[in-house]
């Protein structure tokens, strides 16, 4: 399946990408995807510090991905 990943803030800087497309075998969770990308891009943030969104909605880290999903990993937010 094909997943679009969009990066913001520290993850955008560390990956040097705004977005990328990832080919993934089915049955993988959004957490699996983060661990894979953490290794690929050497992300400094541990998974426990990152929230996840699929198609602009916050989801549980164990949520299963589906073909065509757009994933955003959310580093600790700091609005205000």
Binding region for other proteins (CB under 8 A) = 6, 8-10, 13, 45, 49, 53, 56, 58, 72, 74-80
Task: Give 13 or 35: the residue with its C-beta nearer to other proteins.
Answer: 13
Question: What CA–CA distances, in Å, run from 5 to 22, 24, 79?
Answer: 7, 12, 22
Task: Give 23 or 56: the residue with its C-beta nearer to other proteins.
Answer: 56
Task: Give 8 or 64: the residue with its C-beta nearer to other proteins.
Answer: 8
Distance of closest approach, residue 9 Cβ to other proteins, in angstroms: 4
Q: What Rg do the C-alpha atoms of the chain give, in angstroms?
A: 12
Question: What CA–CA distances, in Å, run from 76 to 23, 50, 65?
Answer: 26, 6, 22
């Amino acid at each position: 399946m094909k997943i679009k990943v969009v990066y913001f803030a520290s993850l955008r800087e560390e990956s040097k990408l705004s977005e990328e497309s990832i080919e993934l075998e089915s049955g993988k969770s959004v957490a699996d995807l983060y661990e894979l990308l953490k290794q690929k891009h050497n992300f400094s943030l541990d998974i426990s510090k990152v929230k996840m969104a699929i198609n602009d909605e916050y989801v549980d880290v164990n949520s299963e991905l589906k073909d065509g999903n757009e994933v955003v990993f959310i580093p600790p937010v700091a609005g205000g």
